């Protein structure tokens, strides 16, 4: 089945690249996404375990994020078609191939069972993302591509140093398979483990969009076509997280685990602080949503740092965040087309001008605020509970203060979009697809449902990732 999926995917990608006709290229691209969705569902329902490919294992962690990507990617591509309808066939094909390349490389990250293989696929995501960011070929996209390639490459090189050091720390280990590392790590040199952890966290932060290298992701989202930003902010961020989480699980059985948790709390708080501060400063919706990603990933790191139920909450938070952020980015893409700009001070009165779109933004706002019934409420509540249970009062205080700032800024910005009078001279050049809006609503409804009911199988599935 794995080989079958791989062959179908590669053939679909090949024909997408070779098609001289826009329509045919889109059909093959959709065939790819259909294959990916079928494969992800098969893995979730019955296909977990070893594969014929020795460096990959189909486990719960990879399966959940693969399924999320398989759900989000076709929606992103569907919205991209409208975005690309005036572009030449060549650019259309490159964009389609870059999206497919990103999906394939993040899938490789999700299932890689070896730290070096994970690193290789993360490096591959840099190439696919760079192609997406450079799509418009403007001075701004060129600058963003250059910065993305440069900072990501430096970050990934730093992470590679960490992986090499980890291999040194685990004396007697013959490879970098995560299972081998888990077995060998208890006797490892703690100092090397700490340095390796720091290097890997720093390196992967450019993909996870957390402190310290979060800026590169924000710039990439800003310059990339907005539907592509939806995939970069979810699938790619998840890939960075999965790569890091596998190292975190290795550290969890070592004697430096408590130290690593403290580092994660610090990195999480700094990400939350950066997100909260820059949310207030920016005047662009795409950057705004990107800083929101930084803020949410900060919460995820804090969840990992507090441990206990916080780890479950972090995984749940990231899964829900993926659906929500994809929906919000796609909706903001519509806002951009509707007003002809992403500048906040040039938009307003959206709820009156386009009711379904305005309602979708409000729905997304409730989701991002983590108010019930948002799924984020559940995860943040669990993280709060763990902080109180472990008596981390200082952390709780700082966390609450920063979250207040985030909540205030989110309300102010999105309420402005929905209710503030429109700026004079604003034009609305294009009609909006209501079908597309309903797809965004479907994604956000899933977020709300996750906040109301957490089925037993989902809880068991996430718990399976912690093993």
Partner 1 sequence: MLFALIIVYVVTLVYFSITERFRHYASLVALQGWVLAGIALLRLHAVDVGELIFVLLETVVFKALIVPYILFGIIRRTGINRVHPSAVTGFNALLLFLGGLIASVGVTYFLADTTVNLAFFAVALYGVICGLLLIVTHKRIFSHLVGFLVIENGVFLFSMAVGVEMPFLINAAVLLDILISILMLGLFVTKIGERFRSLSTDELTSLKD
111 binds partner 1 (CB under 8 A): no
Beta-bridged to residue 50, according to DSSP, are 57
**Size of interface with partner 1, in residues (CB under 8 A):** 47
Q: How far is the CB of 277 from partner 1 (least distance, A)?
A: 10
Four-point Cα dihedral 200, 263, 214, 387, nearest 10:
130
130 binds partner 1 (CB under 8 A): yes
DSSP 8-state secondary structure symbol assigned to residue 422:
P
Exposure letters 354-369 (e unless 16+ CB within 10 A, then b): beebbbbbbbbbbbbb
Q: Which is nearer to partner 1, 38 or 142 (CB)?
A: 142
127 binds partner 1 (CB under 8 A): yes
Binding mask 273-292 for partner 1 (x = CB under 8 A): -----x--xxxx--x-----
Exposure letters 307-336 (e unless 16+ CB within 10 A, then b): bebbbbbbbbbbbbbbbbbbbbbbbbbbbb
Number of CB atoms found within 10 A of residue 281's CB: 10
Q: How far is the CB of 83 from partner 1 (least distance, A)?
A: 20
126 binds partner 1 (CB under 8 A): yes
Q: Which is nearer to partner 1, 109 or 320 (CB)?
A: 109
219 binds partner 1 (CB under 8 A): yes
**Window 77 to 96, contacts with partner 1 (CB under 8 A):** none
**Window 150 to 209, contacts with partner 1 (CB under 8 A):** 150, 153-154, 157-158, 160-161, 164-165, 167-168, 171, 174-176, 189, 191-192, 195
Q: How far is the CB of 192 from partner 1 (least distance, A)?
A: 7
d(CA 62, CA 107): 8
d(CA 395, CA 388): 10
**Window 233 to 272, contacts with partner 1 (CB under 8 A):** none
Q: Which is nearer to partner 1, 215 or 445 (CB)?
A: 215
Interface pick for partner 1 out of 128, 149, 231, 448 (rule CB under 8 A): 149
CB under 8 A, 24+ apart: contacts of 143-147: 143/219, 143/223, 144/219, 144/220, 144/222, 144/223, 144/224, 145/223, 147/216, 147/219
Q: How far is the CB of 289 from partner 1 (least distance, A)?
A: 13
Q: How far is the CB of 400 from partner 1 (least distance, A)?
A: 25
Q: How far is the CB of 55 from partner 1 (least distance, A)?
A: 8
Give CA separation, 182 vs 34, 188, 253, 315, in Å.
Answer: 35, 11, 7, 20
389: three-class secondary structure by DSSP = helix
Residues that bind partner 1 (CB under 8 A): 114, 116-117, 119-120, 123-124, 126-127, 130, 139-140, 142-147, 149-150, 153-154, 157-158, 160-161, 164-165, 167-168, 171, 174-176, 189, 191-192, 195, 219, 222-223, 278, 281-284, 287
């Amino acid at each position: 089945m794995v080989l079958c999926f791989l062959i179908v995917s590669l053939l679909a990608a090949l024909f997408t690249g070779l098609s001289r006709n826009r329509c045919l290229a889109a059909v093959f691209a959709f065939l790819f996404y259909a294959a990916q969705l079928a494969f992800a569902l098969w893995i979730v329902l019955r296909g977990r375990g070893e594969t014929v490919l020795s460096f990959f294992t189909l486990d719960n962690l990879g399966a959940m994020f693969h399924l999320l990507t398989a759900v989000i990617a076709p929606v992103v591509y569907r919205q991209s078609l409208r975005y690309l309808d005036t572009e030449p066939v060549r650019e259309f094909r490159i964009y389609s191939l870059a999206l497919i390349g990103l999906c394939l490389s993040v899938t490789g990250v999700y299932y890689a069972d070896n730290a070096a293989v994970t690193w290789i696929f993360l490096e591959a995501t840099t190439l696919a993302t760079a192609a997406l960011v450079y799509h418009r070929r403007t001075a701004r996209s060129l600058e963003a591509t250059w910065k993305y390639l440069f900072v990501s490459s430096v970050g990934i090189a730093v992470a590679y140093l960490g992986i090499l050091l980890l291999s040194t720390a685990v004396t007697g280990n013959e490879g970098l398979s995560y299972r081998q590392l888990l077995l060998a790590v208890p006797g490892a040199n703690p100092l090397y483990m700490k340095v390796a952890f720091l290097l890997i966290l720093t390196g992967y932060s450019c993909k996870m969009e957390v402190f310290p290298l979060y800026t590169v992701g924000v710039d990439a989202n800003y310059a990339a076509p907005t539907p592509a930003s939806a995939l970069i902010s979810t699938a790619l961020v998840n890939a960075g997280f999965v790569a890091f989480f596998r190292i975190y699980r290795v550290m969890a059985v070592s004697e430096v685990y408590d130290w690593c948790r403290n580092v994660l709390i610090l990195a999480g708080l700094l990400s939350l602080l950066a997100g909260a501060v820059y949310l207030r400063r920016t005047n662009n919706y795409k950057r705004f949503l990107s800083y929101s990603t930084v803020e949410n990933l900060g919460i995820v790191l804090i969840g990992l740092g507090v441990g206990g139920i916080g780890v479950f909450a972090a995984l749940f938070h990231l899964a829900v965040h993926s659906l929500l952020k994809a929906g919000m980015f796609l909706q903001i893409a519509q806002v951009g087309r509707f007003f002809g700009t992403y500048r906040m001070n040039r938009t307003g009165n959206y709820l009156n001008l386009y009711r379904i779109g305005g309602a979708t933004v409000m729905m997304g706002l409730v989701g991002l605020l983590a108010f019930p019934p948002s799924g984020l409420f559940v995860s943040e509540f669990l993280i709060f509970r763990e902080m109180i249970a472990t008596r981390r009062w200082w952390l709780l205080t700082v966390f609450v203060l920063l979250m207040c700032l985030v909540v205030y800024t989110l309300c102010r910005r999105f309420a402005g979009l929905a209710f503030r009078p429109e700026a004079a001279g604003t034009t609305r050049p294009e009609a909006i697809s209501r079908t597309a809006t309903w797809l965004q609503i479907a994604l956000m409804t899933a977020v709300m449902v996750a906040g109301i009911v957490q089925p037993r199988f989902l809880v068991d599935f996430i718990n399976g990732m912690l093993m």
